Amino acid sequence: MYIEMTDETGQVSVQMQEQITDLLQFAAEKIGKQNKEMAVTFVDNARVHEVNLAYRGIDRPTDVVSLEYKPESEIIFDEEDLLDNPELAEMMEDFDAYIGELYISIDKAREQAEDYGHSYEREMGFLAVHGFLHINGYDHYTPEEEAEMFGLQEEILTAYGLTRE
């Protein structure tokens, strides 16, 4: 998986960026998305507030904004077309490698790490995996979706070694 990493704050260490990249690679392997591309941008609360308002219409800062890329192929071909033609589905999977981007607030990560009583590294990892799952179609609007998504994210974090302390 290719991950473009940007630190707008100048406060995220190279080591932390490498750990997040490695964790997202691990998560991609876990859900079969190794051949994809995404972007991660570390921001402060003011910037994540702007992004949250612009893209989600929510006028407050948040911990992570996940922007899932919807490829044009989804407009051209519906799911039935792709099921009926596995070669076309494989070709479109390769063609539409970019899956989306995350904006992670390092301010919120610090606040929440303290609030939840675990490390900043754990919280940054949690936010990265949480956002990554969102841009791969996972959600938590219903109890069933929440159980699936939260279970998978905990499984990934634990298997990677970022457990709650």
Longest pairwise C-alpha distance within the chain: 50
**Residue matched to tokens 């998560």:** 27
Predicted local distance difference test score (pLDDT) of residue 98? 83
Q: Minimal CA–CA distance to 127: which of 19, 37, 15, 10?
A: 19
> In the prediction, which pLDDT does 160 show?
96
Please state, in angstroms and rounded to a whole number, the distance separating the CA atoms of residues 13 and 120.
Answer: 12
Percent of the chain with pLDDT over 90: 75
Over residues 26-70, the pLDDT tens digits come to 999 999 888 889 999 999 999 999 999 999 999 999 999 999 987
Q: Which helix (H) or strand (E) holds 111?
A: helix 106-116
Query: pLDDT band at residue 164, thresholds of 50, 70 and 90?
Result: confident
Per-residue confidence (pLDDT) for residue 127, from 0 to 100: 98
Instruction: Give which of 115, 122, 108, 106 is closest to 164, Cα–Cα.
Output: 122
pLDDT, position 50: 97
- pLDDT score at 90: 64
Confidence band for 24, pLDDT divided at 50, 70 and 90:
very high
Least confident range from 12-21, 68-77, 103-112: namely 68-77
Spatial separation of the C-alpha atoms in residues 95 and 117, rounded to whole Å: 42
Q: Read off the tokens for 23.
A: 């964790």
Q: What's the whole-model pTM score?
A: 0.85
Are 48 and 40 within 8 A, CB to CB?
A: no
Please report which confidence band the pLDDT of residue 149 belongs to, taking 50, 70 and 90 as the band edges: very high
Structure tokens at 38: 């995404």
